[in-house]
């Protein structure tokens, strides 16, 4: 898969920010955008803390789910005139207490061409996006798998 050009990356960032107000409310930021991979950051903020001073589980979930959704939007953008991406389920694991700024790195687990082929054949493909959650120093604090589908538009 080719590397995403800067114009497409900016389109993904601005489209995501416009479409996902809750992530915007939390202040989620893009660090890197490419086909099949997105890295996002959740700045540390006291308003997002839990009872032990780290980011609330809901804020971490939002960061991970947002990164996974941005992967889907960025990778399948040219198909979105004929389908709607929807999260089907999510599984998250919290390994250790996270403190400070958080980073989520999301990666598509199947080739884009294979998933698009299922849609082209009249199917409703499901696919996973794996997300690593870590502190800004690289300490892995959790992991998430979000299963997505591309639901064909009905006419």
CATH of the domain at 52: 3.10.129.10
Per-residue pLDDT, averaged over 140-148, amounts to: 98
Per-residue pLDDT, averaged over 40-60, amounts to: 93
Q: Is there a domain that residue 1 lies in?
A: no
pLDDT digits (tens, 9 = 90+) for 8-42: 889 889 888 888 888 889 999 999 999 999 999 99
Q: What integer pLDDT is reported at residue 155 of this predicted model?
A: 65
3-state helix, strand, coil in the chain (%, to 5): 35, 35, 30
Q: What integer pLDDT is reported at residue 16 of this predicted model?
A: 87
Q: What are phi and psi of 106, to 5 degrees?
A: -110, 140
Query: How many structural domains is the chain composed of?
Result: 1
Q: Is there a domain that residue 48 lies in?
A: yes
Q: Which residues contact 51 (CB under 8 A, 6 or more apart)?
A: none
Dist CA 22 CA 1 (whole Å): 31
**C-alpha of 142 from chain center:** 14
pLDDT band at 76 (very low <50, low <70, confident <90, very high): very high
Per-residue pLDDT, averaged over 79-88, amounts to: 96
HSE toward the beta carbon, residue 36, CA cutoff 13 A: 12
Q: Would the pTM count as exceeding 0.85?
A: yes
Q: Is there a domain that residue 74 lies in?
A: yes
Dist CA 20 CA 41 (whole Å): 15
Domain around 83 = 6-152
Q: Is there a domain that residue 97 lies in?
A: yes
Q: What integer pLDDT is reported at residue 5 of this predicted model?
A: 87
Mapping DSSP to helix (H, G, I), strand (E, B) and coil, where does residue 20 land? coil
User: Of 69, 59, 54, 76, whose CA–CA distance to 19 is shortest?
Assistant: 69
């Amino acid at each position: 898969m080719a590397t995403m050009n800067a114009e497409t990356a900016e389109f993904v960032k601005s489209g995501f920010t416009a479409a996902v107000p809750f992530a915007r409310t939390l202040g989620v930021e893009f660090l890197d955008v490419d086909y099949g991979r997105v890295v996002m950051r959740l700045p540390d903020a006291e308003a997002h803390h839990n009872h032990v001073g780290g980011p609330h589980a809901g804020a971490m979930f939002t960061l991970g789910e947002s990164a996974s959704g941005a992967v889907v939007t960025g990778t399948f953008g040219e198909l979105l005139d004929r389908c709607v991406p929807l999260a089907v389920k999510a599984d998250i694991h919290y390994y250790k207490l996270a403190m400070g700024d958080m980073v989520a790195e999301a990666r598509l687990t199947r080739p884009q061409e294979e998933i698009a082929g299922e849609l082209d054949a009249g199917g409703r493909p499901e696919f996973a996006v794996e997300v690593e959650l870590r502190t800004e120093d690289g300490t892995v604090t959790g992991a998430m798998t979000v299963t997505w589908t591309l639901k064909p538009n009905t006419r």
